[in-house]
Every structure is written in structure tokens, then in C-alpha cells.
Amino acid sequence: MSEISFTGTAFYEFLKEHKLMGSHCPHCGTVYAPPRPFCPTCMAADLEWVELSGAGKLASYSVIAIAPTAMLEAGYGRENLYCSGVVELAEGTRISAQILGVDVAHPENIVIGTPVKVAFIERGEGEARKTFLGFEVIA
Amino acid sequence: MARTKLSRGVAVVGAGMSKFGAFPGLATRDLFVDAFKEMLASVDKGLDARDIEALYIGNFSSDLFEGQAHVAPIMADWVGLTPRPATRVEDACASSGVALREGIIAIASGLYDMVLVGGIEKMTDLPTARVTDTLATAADVTYETPAGFTFPGLYASMATAYMAAYGAPLEAFLRVGLKNHEHGALNPKAQFGQRISDIMEARKASAAKKGKPIPTWVDEMAFLMDERANPTIAWPMRLYDCSPISDGAAAVLLVSEELATRFSNAPLYVVGSGQASDGATHDRPILTGIPAAQRAAQMAYAMAGITPADIALAEVHDCFTIAEIMATEDLGFFAPGEGWKAAIEGRTARTGDHPINVSGGLKSKGHPVGASGAGQVIEIWKQLRGEAGVRQLPGSLRFGLTHNVGGTGQTCAVHIFERR
Ligand SMILES: [Zn+2]
């Protein structure tokens, strides 16, 4: 058993240290990111933390013009579009993230299957600093 | 474990809805009273409402939308039904589809003979940004919304996966919106009951009145492809791909099957009910359909002992146009990857072989999220009974289906009704 629980809080604490962490089931070998405390594949409950390679490919995306409050505060919106997507990681699990390095002015040119690598997006200063999960297109 | 049938039959003997739209000054309870009155009037042989034994009320988020939680007893009180048990059911946009299923199960259990199912939502008091934030609480706020995903964004991401997998063009999505506005123009309860061509004419007239250059769209598709007329919300979903922000309520009266003809000349029998759950969008084996909808549909078809080909009409959860295309595949009307072609070919129009959303759907009729699932039943009630007026489908209709999705598919409830 891991000493650190598989919580969202722990996931984002690791992200602050620029580590993309998931959980690994020692029984069936499945890797989960976001990390799960319980393995839905084999119902095991003694999962272990694992650091992911950060390599993956784009599985779906959208270029968003009507932004939620948190993204408006980060400077995005109709005049500054951004891309969110689902990334399939090399370890086989999928996760949602902001996608960087794509041409948001021409969303029709973004290609599903494009290789991406993890990026750590810092927002806020000092105590308010938070790290968000991103992936960027591999140049 | 694998029980597929109800322990006893259940029928719909009354159904009503408020108008859907933006109603400043009206709270959910006011809209629910409208729906309740119309439901009462729809019971052919009359009803003493005091015979109702329990209420199940679907509501997504009156807490955030109107600052009012604990809404089920308020609804019971406002229609004179306290002290009967009143239970709120929350499964995001599938709240009242699931409330319907809870009501059905309650009667099938033998505990009650008559149950009122309601759906309510009051969304238009908040500014759009806060509505967007509130809807996003139906996604995973720990792992989806920090990625910047909005609700339209999540469905739009399924649209890009679908386009890449099946070669669907943008036109397919726009055709769904165009069709549902055509349908909604025949529905006096619809929030946006205008054809796209009507909207175009209104825009031209407005430009002329203001002395501005008059737009010259050659047809509806040109209007829908015009970024100024139809701005992108979350690419590839544009304004006319998205259901509106709405207020509304609906009410459905259920009784045990043996009581059905005591109240109704033409009851609808609940022959199929299915419900399923799922994880976040990114966690699913496919992004081009909704697994919970596929599973709920299989459960409902198995209970009814029928196939998708038997369904005369379906009201499906077109919160976004991509959602309707996926629904027509998840429900088995078309094979995976074929739904977009059917949309372009007009097969899902009221004149097609699989009429979908003849009410106008959520797109045109409106999407007061907690009321939408129960609202779908109203259309099936009217159509199967031959009471849909100018939008009545021809022929004798036997089976109608409702498909109500919560979130991006974390919940789905599917129901099948039969007119005998
Ligand atoms: Zn396992």
C-alpha cells in the first residue's frame, strides 16, 4: 500500500513538482491516470503510485471560444482561443488536458493522433500558484 | 442478477409541460404548477390529485441557478400534495429521465399505485458565464474542468473524434440543428420555434432597418457556415449546434398497469426502461459514442422485447448536434459511423424513416436541464395518442422512445412506451 492516498489533492501536489503521476495495479498491470485508489479492471485495492512517461497522442480536442470563469481569468476567451483535449498516454490510459502548440486559428488543421508530450502550466503567484496539466505537440 | 422485467406493469395516464423559454419572474414552482395543470387536464377520465401517493422530481441545480435547494417538497406543497413523500433526483441533464425510472420502479415494487414524476429547471436568472460554470459542475471538476473543458467543449471533443473516425463533415452537425428548428417551428411550447430561414429573414430585415449592408446568404447552410451569423462556441460546435439556456417544467403521471384504463382512454404502457452510469469522458473505451446510452438502450430493448426497427419515433438528447448523431447510433437506428449520413440524407426528419426529435428537440424546444427528460415523454404521449396537432406524425404509431443523457454520458436513461 502506498503511504500517499490517490487523491486529486495528491495528483496536483505532484504536478506542482512537475511529475505526472498515476496509479498502477500490481495484479493486472493496468495503469490509471488520473490515479485511482481501486482497480475497476480486477477490483484490487492495493494500487501503487507510478510516474508516467508523459508521452502520448491526441485522442480528441476542441478549440474553445466561450470560456469558463477560470479560463477567462487566465486570459482566454473569444479573442484568445485555447485548445482542450483528451490525450491517450503511452501507458494506455487517457486524461483531459490543455493542448499547447496547436494552431487554434485553424482548428480544422489539428490532427487526432498527433504525438504530444506533457507540459506543466503554471498559473498564479506565490501561495496562489497552481500547476495545471498540459500537453504540447512534439515539434 | 440479470432480471430484465418489471415485477408489475406501469402506464402513463397523464402528461403536461410548461412552455419552455426564458421567463423572468417565474420560479421553478410556478413553472411546475403550469405543467401540473396541463397534466391534470390530460387525464381522460379525470383525476383526484389526492390519489397521488409519491413524487419524484428531477432537478439538476436549483441550488446554483436560483439559490434554492430542497426543491421536491416545495413542488409537492405548491400542488397541494404534502405530506406525501417527495424526492429530488439529480443526475445532471438526465435528472428527470432518472426520476421517471425511479417512479416506475416504485410502482413496480408494489408500494405505490400512483406516482407523479416531475422535472424542473430555472436557468435564465444567471449570466451566461455562470450558467456555463454551473453546467460544468456536471463534468469531473477535479480532472476535466481544470483542462479548460466546458460542456460544449467536451461534446465538441467527441465531435472531433467522430469526424476523424468516420469522415463526417461539419455539414452533418448543421443539418441536425436545421432539422430540429424545422420541427420546433410546429411546436407552440418551443423556446426557439423559428425555422433557420425565418431567422435569416429577420436578420436581413434588421440590417435593412438599421441601414447596414443586407447579408446575402444563398441558403441556410451558407448562413450556418457564416462565423458572424453562427459563431463558434467550442469548435466544431457553433451557436446553432448548441441547445439554449432555458426555464421549464414537465409532469408525468404514472399508475400501475391494472389501473391504466380506469384513468385513460389511451394510456401509454412503459414497456422498456434502462439506465447506466460511466466515468469521465476521457475514461471511456470510445469517444465517438456514449457507452452508457448503448447499455441503457440494450436494457430497454431487452425489457420491451423489441428491436430499434420497431421504434416509430424517438426523442433523443440533442444538447449538442453531435449528441443527436451519436444517439441515433447508440440507440441502434444506424450503425456506428452511419448516423451523420442519415442526418444529411434527411432520414431523421419527420418525413424520414427514423423520425428524431419531432418536438424540436432540446435544440429548438429548449433545454431546462432537469426538465428535459420528462419533457421528452410529453411528445411521445402526444404523438402516440394522435394529439400532436400540426406536427402529428402519420400512421398508427405503436412504440416511442426517450433517451436522456446526464453530463457527457456519465448517466443515461432510456425508456420505451407502447400504445396498445
Ligand atoms: Zn487490476
Contact at CB, A85 and B147, closer than 8 angstroms: yes
* A61, A89 Cβ separation under 8 angstroms: no
Do residues B323 and B292 make contact, with C-beta atoms less than 8 angstroms apart?
no
Give the Å distance between the CA of A31 and the centre of ligand 1. 9
Q: How far is the first Cα of chain A from the last one, in angstroms, to the nearest whole number? A: 39
The string of pLDDT tens digits covering residues B189-240 is 999 999 999 999 999 999 999 999 999 999 999 999 999 999 999 999 999 9
Residues A37/A42/A47/A48 CA torsion (nearest 10 deg): -130
Q: Which long-range contacts (CB under 8 A, 24 or more apart) does B215-223 make?
A: B220/B178, B220/B196, B221/B171, B221/B174, B221/B178, B223/B196, B223/B199
- Residue A95 per-residue DSSP state: E
Task: Tell me which of B93, B242, B319, B412 is the catalytic residue.
Answer: B93
Name the grid cell of B2: 440479470
Residues of chain B contacting residue A63, judged by C-beta atoms under 8 Å apart: 232, 234-235
CATH code at A55-137: 2.40.50
B93 is catalytic: yes
Phi, psi of B94 (to 5 degrees): -100, 15
CB of B154 within 8 Å of a chain A CB? The answer is yes
- Give, to the nearest 10 degrees, the angle between helix B71-78 and helix B28-41: 50
Most B CBs within 10 A among A58, A83, A84, A114, hence the mutation to make, goes to A84
Q: What is the pLDDT along chain B (420 residues), one digit of tens a residue?
A: 467 889 999 999 999 999 999 999 999 999 999 999 999 999 999 999 999 999 999 999 999 999 999 999 999 999 999 999 999 999 999 999 999 999 999 999 999 999 999 999 999 999 988 998 899 999 999 999 999 999 999 999 999 999 999 999 999 999 999 999 999 999 999 999 999 999 999 999 999 999 999 999 999 999 999 999 999 999 999 999 999 999 999 999 999 999 999 999 999 999 999 999 999 999 999 999 999 999 999 999 999 999 999 999 999 999 999 999 999 999 999 999 999 999 999 999 999 999 999 999 999 999 999 999 999 999 999 999 999 999 999 999 999 999 999 999 999 999 999 999
**Å between B284 CA and nearest CA of chain A:** 8
Q: How many CB pairs under 8 A join A and B?
A: 111
Determine the Cα angle at B220 with ends B219 and B226, to 5°.
95
Strand ranges (DSSP E) for B289-352? 311-315
C-beta of residue B65 within 8 angstroms of C-beta of residue B130: no
Report whether A31 contacts A92 (CB < 8 A): yes
**C-alpha of residue A27 to centroid of ligand 1, in Å:** 5
Give the confidence band of A126 by pLDDT, cuts at 50, 70, 90.
Answer: confident
Please state the ipTM of this predicted complex.
0.97
Separation CA A35–CA A23 (nearest Å): 5
Q: Rounded to 10 degrees, what is the CA torsion of B34, B37, B39, B41?
A: -140
pLDDT at A2 (0 to 100): 57
B159 touches chain A (CB under 8 A): yes
Chain B nearest C-alpha distance from A95 (Å): 5
Q: Which one of the listed residues B181, B183, B317, B367 is annotated catalytic?
A: B367
Question: Residue A21: pLDDT above 60?
Answer: yes
- What are the chain B neighbours of A71 within 8 Å (beta carbons)? 148
What are the φ/ψ torsions at residue B262 (nearest 5 degrees)? -70, -25
Interchain pair B160, A110: CB under 8 A: yes
Average pLDDT of the residues of chain B:
97
Q: Is B287 on the interface with A (CB under 8 A)?
A: yes
- Write the CB contacts of B350 (distance below 8 Å, at least 6 apart in sequence): B182, B183, B358, B391, B393
From ligand 1's centre to the CA of A24, what distance in Å?
8
Residues of chain B in contact with residue A105, where contact means CB-CB under 8 angstroms, are: none
Where does B10-127+244-419 sit in CATH, by number? 3.40.47.10
Per-residue confidence (pLDDT) for residue B112, from 0 to 100: 98
Flag if B157 and A76 touch (Cβ within 8 Å). no
Structural Rg of chain A based on CA atoms: 16
What's residue A1's pLDDT?
Answer: 47
Residue B403 is a catalytic residue: no
- For residue B290, which amino acid is it? I
**What residue segments make up the domains of chain B, in order of their start?**
10-127+244-419
Tell me if B145 and A68 make a contact (CB, 8 A cut-off): yes
How far does residue A95's CA lie from ligand 1's centre (Å)? 18
Cross-sheet strand order for the sheet of A21-24: A31-32, A21-24, A48-51
Which grid cell sits at B84? 406525501
CA-to-CA separations, B38 to B15, B44, B45, B386, in angstroms, rounded: 7, 12, 14, 17
Amino acid B2: pLDDT = 60
This model's pTM is above 0.95: yes
